[in-house]
Homo-oligomer: A and B are copies of this chain.
Amino acid sequence: MNLKELALKLNLSPTTVSRALNGYPEVNAATRERILAAAKRHNYRPNTRAIRLATGRAMAVGHVFPVATKSEIMNPIFADFIAGAGEVYTTNGYDMLLSVVSDAAETQSYHDLKLRGAVDGVIIHAVRSSDDRIKTLLQLGLPFVSHGRATSVDLPYSWVDVNNRRAFLRATEFLLDLAHQRIGLINGKEDLDFALRRRMGYLEALSARAIAQDPALMFTGELTEHAGYLAASTMLALPQPPTAFVCASMLSGMGARRAIEARGLVMGRDVSVIIFDDELSYLRNGEDLPIFTATRSSVRLAGQLAAQMLLDLIADPASAPQNRLLEADLILGQSTGPAPRT
């Protein structure tokens, strides 16, 4: 059942039927009723492909996920971010297009999406401190929102980000207030911007208390349980081991906990741990009471905000870039306590 057939059945022109369905005013109320009823009765849905060609809009948003050819690690926050963004798209009648491309082909893939007219805008993920995607997209004139900022990119663009620096600043300060002096940092890969900012926050807190930074207490790598375990184990084996850890993810924190317990120590008593909690649906930080003390910010919410921001941008491409900096809550769990007395 297409528009023409429906119009024929109603003894009306396709024009009028189209107008009625799209809510244009120049249709008689009675006629509109009749059309709406018929459309429902015949279960009519306008053909998406035709709408897109006719309107010139794709009614779709792209998410390009680079898959690092070497690491092959899919971003674990992916699913929840997508869930958040997807809700917004669905509500607004947009489709979500996912491209999985090798990171070498990523720039090319934006060109393609734009030239093919497959999407009206994109969201970029896993932003690096110096990310050339931003320049590429600006030049391309393809509306986009970045999940995360790029520190070394000084161009106007829209982003949604968490205040990673302040989150780790506060986390570290909190530990310092508990009299911890040696605090280990278990961070993500620091070419990624969020990780860089977290380290800045950590260092800022230390230097505010005139505590020298110790490279042996700073780890950067994948945000996996295994990496967290290794990093924490190594640090705990130091002559002067840390009495606390700041971990960049739930998984790192779980690894740290395992390392702590493997040494016969008790988390929260002998060694404190604070994690960054993205509130991933399948990795909850406890059900009722939080297990880990954590800086918490919902990645799903970030997805919703980014999606909405992008749709606004698409609706009015000339509008000024929007920004949204989310603050992470510091929530108290059972993984932190005063530094043990020596």
A interface residues, Cβ below 8 angstroms from B: 43-50, 52-53, 56, 58, 60, 65, 67, 71-76, 78-80, 82-83, 85-87, 89-90, 95-101, 111-112, 115-118, 222-226, 251, 254, 257-258, 261, 280-284, 286-287, 291
Contact = CB atoms under 8 A, between A and B. Distances in A.
Contacts of A284: 224, 226
Given A73-B281, A224-B284, A226-B287, A83 B95 contact: no
A5 to B, nearest CB: 13
A236 to B, nearest CB: 16
A208 B291 CA distance: 41
A291 B284 CA distance: 22
Contacts of A97: 60, 95-98
Q: Which 9 A-B pairs have the closest CB atoms?
A: A86-B100, A45-B115, A76-B282, A74-B79, A48-B116, A49-B52, A78-B79, A73-B281, A49-B53
B86 A75 contact: no
Contact of A67 (B83, B101, B222): B83
A45 to B, nearest CB: 4
B96 A99 contact: yes
A56 B226 CA distance: 49
Output the residue of A48, A49, A58, A90 with the most chain B CB within 10 A.
A49
A79 B125 CA distance: 14
A254 B47 CA distance: 48
A115 B58 contact: no
Contacts of A46: 116
Contacts of A280: 74
A99 B342 CA distance: 56
Contacts of A258: 257-258
A282 to B, nearest CB: 4
A231 B249 CA distance: 24
A224 B287 CA distance: 10
Nearest to A115: B45
A65 B86 contact: yes
B116 A45 contact: yes
20 contacts: A43-B111, A44-B115, A46-B116, A47-B53, A48-B58, A49-B49, A49-B58, A52-B52, A60-B97, A65-B83, A67-B83, A76-B79, A82-B100, A83-B100, A86-B99, A90-B101, A96-B97, A222-B282, A251-B282, A257-B258
